[in-house]
Amino acid sequence: MDKREHIDYWLKIAEKDLDMMKYLEEGKRYVQALFFGHLYLEKIAKALWVANNLENVPPKTHNLLKIIKEANLAFRGRSGISDKT
């Protein structure tokens, strides 16, 4: 697969997690909805990682901050101070 196909893959499966999150939230299954929300954000972050790196395979981790940092995205916490060094 080329870079665009890898990005599309992550976005496509992220959309399925978002749909599941919404379904679970509507059923008042909040803990499960939160879990799928994390999966959704993780897959979006991995798509961004692929877009911003030479390689097409993101790190095998569930750590959102690690993926975002390695994707070369600026992250601002509550203080508004960039976590990027």
pLDDT digits (tens, 9 = 90+) for 52-79: 999 899 999 999 989 988 988 765 666 5
In a domain, 81, yes or no: no
74 Cβ contact partners less than 8 Å away, ≥ 6 residues apart: 82, 83, 84
In a domain, 25, yes or no: yes
Euclidean distance between CA atoms 15 and 8, whole angstroms: 11
In a domain, 47, yes or no: yes
Amino acid 72: pLDDT: 85
Residues of the domain holding 45: 3-70
Euclidean distance between CA atoms 83 and 70, whole angstroms: 12
pLDDT at 81 over 50: no
Distance between start and end Cα atoms, the chain? 32
Euclidean distance between CA atoms 9 and 13, whole angstroms: 6
CA-closest candidate to residue 3, choices 68, 71, 53, 59 = 53
What's the number of domains the chain is made of?
1
In a domain, 78, yes or no: no
In a domain, 59, yes or no: yes
Amino acid 73: pLDDT: 75
Local confidence band at 16 (pLDDT 50, 70, 90 cut-offs):
very high
Please state the pTM of the whole predicted model: 0.81
